């Protein structure tokens, strides 16, 4: 037998004797706090949701796989990449003085990856794996379905109805006043009323990229007989910079709510709204099966939304939202499933948001388009438009009985990049439970904005 084998055998036998002579306890495995306190101390430190030792091991493994060129599109590998990168960016944003008070974690998690991709500072293999995963899984819609359905099913029924009824006036007033003020601002900086209104103001409030900028520019192309790609490239910078401004506004509103609590509902729209914080008396009896069943409810409602989109053209997230509200109001979902839906919502909002924002930055937030909008006239016009929209939401929301902070945040979502923008804005404001109302502002508000813009352009052309 070799010296190494003899040494290994002796060490194993010594270790076994020590374990055999260890004081016994009632539990199968007994660890004294003094022996494990240091390790537990480090395991309790986290980067996002990832224990620090696990984070280090995952980073080492990913580094080795990248070096060997063995990064694959397996779901486990992609979860590791997105979690490590997303929570690293969020942690960095949370530690930068000044930036952390204006939505630093969200801004860094979304736009730093975009910058790194543009300057080719991320490994090409990693970037391509993230893009392939994004395109093949459409994970954004799973996130939206889980958050929207989970938050709706967790709300009080009366508060839900009152909330939807009360958001329309602040949203309508904010849209009209922001359009007027933004157009006047653009004219003051020499951009021209036509260009400012149709190529800056309308794209900001059109509802994002996929369901906003694309149908908007298709309508423009038909009326003006211009290439749709040319028009799309012209308005995308306004959409992205408007979304960034809304993120900052939401973060500042969150800080304002912490300082002046009378203006904030902490995620509740009005005083009678118990919102996502409401709990049933038997919430402790919710099982894993209830949580899984609630997840299937969310997926089922999204599939019905997709069918509605194919049959009548209504956007799938909007159809899903209406169906979830209908299920809630008709008592179609049992209390235990509602508690399961609450857990689904909390899981996705706490664990998936920053990895998702990192994927967004890598795939659909082009850095060069964002930089193209950085002219003094464009920046001031866009900022004035979004701030006006948000401010009107604050005061009109207060007038109709909403908490002013929440009313302003819902209006800010009207200037976001669709579902992606809603995730970023509400995360920055720490109010993901407002997702159903944000979707209404973004989707329906965007559809109405596009319709009005195309009618106006066709009339004056």
Total tally of structural domains belonging to the chain: 2
Tell me: the pLDDT tens digits for 192-204? 999 999 999 999 9
Q: Are residues 116 and 211 in the same domain?
A: no
pLDDT of residue 59: 92
Q: What is the mean pLDDT of residues 278-306?
A: 79
Report if residue 184 sits inside a domain. Answer: yes
Task: Give the residue from 255, 242, 169, 256 showing the smallest Cα distance to 203.
Answer: 242
Domain that holds residue 346: 138-460
Do 128 and 245 fall into the same domain? no
Dihedral sign computed on CA atoms, order 175, 176, 178, 182: positive
Q: Is residue 2 a part of any domain in this protein?
A: no
Establish if 38 belongs to a structural domain: no
- Same domain, yes or no: 227 and 296: yes
Q: Dump pLDDT digits (tens) for 342-382.
A: 888 888 878 888 898 898 888 877 788 778 777 899 999 99
- Phi, psi for 91 (deg, rounded to 5): -65, -40
From 137, 166, 183, the end of a domain falls on 137
Does 130 share its domain with 143?
A: no
Question: If we measure between CA atoms, which residue out of 372, 341, 424, 333 comes closest to residue 140?
Answer: 424
The answer to whether residues 173 and 154 belong to one domain is yes
pLDDT for the residue numbered 152? 81
Helix (H, G, I), strand (E, B) or coil at 91: helix
| Predicted pLDDT at 104 | 80
Q: Is there a domain that residue 452 lies in?
A: yes
147-151, 359-363, 431-435: the lowest-pLDDT one: 147-151
Cα separation of 43 and 47, whole Å?
A: 11
Percent of the chain with pLDDT strictly greater than 90: 27
Eight-class DSSP state of 24:
P
Buried residues in 220-254 as b, exposed as e (16+ CB within 10 A): bbeebeeebeebbebbbbbbbbbbbbbbbbbbbbb
Same domain, residue pair 375 and 234: yes
pLDDT at 285 over 80: no
Q: Has residue 78 got a pLDDT over 50?
A: yes
HSE (side-chain half, CA atoms, 13 Å) at 292: 3
- If one compares 7 and 433, the residue with the highest pLDDT of the two is 433
Is the residue at 207 inside a domain? yes
73, 102, 137 - which closes a domain = 137
Model pLDDT for residues 206-243, shown as the tens digit of each residue: 887 666 776 787 788 888 888 766 777 678 788 888 98
The answer to whether residues 123 and 145 belong to one domain is no
The answer to whether position 8 is within a domain reads no
In a domain, 194, yes or no: yes
Domain boundary among 96, 114, 137: 137
Q: 275: closest CA among 330, 326, 347, 338?
A: 338
CA 387, CA 270: separation in Å to the nearest integer? 22
Place of tokens 């002046």: 260
Are residues 178 and 132 located together in one domain of the fold?
no
What was the pLDDT predicted at 440?
80
pLDDT value of position 326: 87
Q: Chain-wide mean pLDDT for the chain?
A: 82
Q: Kindly state the percentage of the chain with pLDDT values over 70.
A: 87
* pLDDT band with cut points at 50, 70 and 90 for residue 29: very low
The closest alpha carbon to 323, from 309, 304, 342, belongs to: 304
Residue 455 has pLDDT above 60, yes or no: yes
The dihedral through the CA atoms of 291, 292, 293, 297 has a sign that is positive
Question: Is 377 inside any structural domain?
Answer: yes
Supply the pLDDT for residue 451.
83
Question: Could you tell me if 203 and 293 lie in one domain?
Answer: yes
445 and 367 assigned to the same domain? yes
Higher-confidence residue of 163 and 167: namely 167
Residues 188 and 271 in one domain: yes
116 and 166 in a common domain = no
Q: What is the pLDDT of residues 254-276, one digit of tens each?
A: 999 999 888 888 888 776 655 54
In the structure, what pLDDT confidence band is assigned to residue 10 with cuts at 50, 70 and 90?
low
Q: Angle 139-154/418-428 helices, nearest 10 degrees?
A: 60
Instruction: Give the model's pLDDT for residue 27.
Output: 45
The set of residues, in sequence order, having a beta carbon less than 8 Å from that of 88 and lying 6+ positions away, is 47, 48
Confidence of residue 33 (pLDDT cuts 50, 70, 90): low
């Amino acid at each position: 037998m070799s010296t190494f084998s003899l040494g290994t055998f002796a060490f194993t036998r010594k270790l076994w004797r020590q374990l055999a002579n260890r004081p016994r306890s009632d539990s199968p495995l007994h660890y004294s706090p003094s022996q494990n306190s240091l390790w537990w101390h480090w395991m309790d430190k986290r980067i996002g949701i990832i224990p620090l030792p696990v984070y280090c091991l995952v980073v080492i493994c990913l580094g080795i796989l990248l070096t060997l060129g063995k990064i694959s599109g397996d779901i486990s590998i992609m979860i590791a990449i997105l979690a490590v990168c997303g929570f690293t960016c969020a942690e960095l944003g949370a530690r930068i003085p000044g930036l952390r008070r204006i939505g630093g974690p969200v801004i860094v998690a979304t736009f730093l990856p975009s910058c790194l991709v543009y300057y080719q500072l991320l490994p090409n293999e990693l970037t391509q794996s993230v893009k392939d995963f994004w395109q093949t899984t459409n994970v954004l819609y799973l996130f939206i379905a889980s958050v929207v359905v989970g938050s709706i099913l967790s709300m009080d029924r009366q508060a839900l109805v009152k909330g939807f009824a009360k958001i329309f006036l602040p949203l309508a007033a904010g849209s009209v006043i922001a359009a007027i003020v933004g157009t006047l601002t653009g004219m003051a900086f020499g951009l021209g009323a036509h260009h400012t209104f149709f190529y800056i103001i309308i794209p900001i409030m059109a509802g994002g990229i996929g369901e906003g900028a694309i149908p908007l520019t298709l309508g423009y192309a038909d009326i003006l007989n211009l290439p749709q790609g040319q028009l799309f490239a012209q308005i995308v910078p306004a959409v992205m910079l408007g979304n960034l401004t809304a993120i900052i506004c939401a973060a500042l509103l969150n800080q304002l709510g912490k300082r002046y609590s009378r203006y904030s509902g902490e995620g509740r729209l009005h005083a009678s709204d118990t919102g996502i914080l409401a709990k049933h008396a038997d919430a402790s009896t919710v099982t894993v099966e209830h949580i899984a069943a609630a997840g299937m409810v969310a997926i089922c409602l999204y599939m019905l939304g997709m069918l509605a989109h194919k049959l009548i053209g209504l956007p799938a997230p909007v159809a899903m939202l209406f169906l979830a509200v209908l299920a809630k109001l008709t008592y179609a979902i049992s209390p235990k499933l509602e508690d399961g839906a609450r857990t689904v919502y909390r899981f996705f909002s706490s664990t998936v948001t920053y990895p998702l924002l990192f994927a967004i930055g890598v795939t659909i937030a082009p850095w060069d388009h964002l930089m193209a909008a950085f002219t003094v006239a464009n920046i001031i016009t866009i900022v004035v438009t979004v701030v006006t929209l948000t401010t009107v939401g604050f005061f009109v929301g207060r007038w109709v009985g909403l908490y002013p902070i929440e009313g302003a945040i819902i209006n800010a979502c009207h200037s976001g990049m669709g579902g992606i923008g809603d995730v970023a804005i509400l995360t920055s404001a720490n109010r993901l439970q407002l997702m159903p109302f944000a979707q209404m502002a973004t989707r329906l508000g965007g559809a109405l904005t596009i319709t009005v813009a195309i009618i106006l352009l066709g009339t004056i052309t």
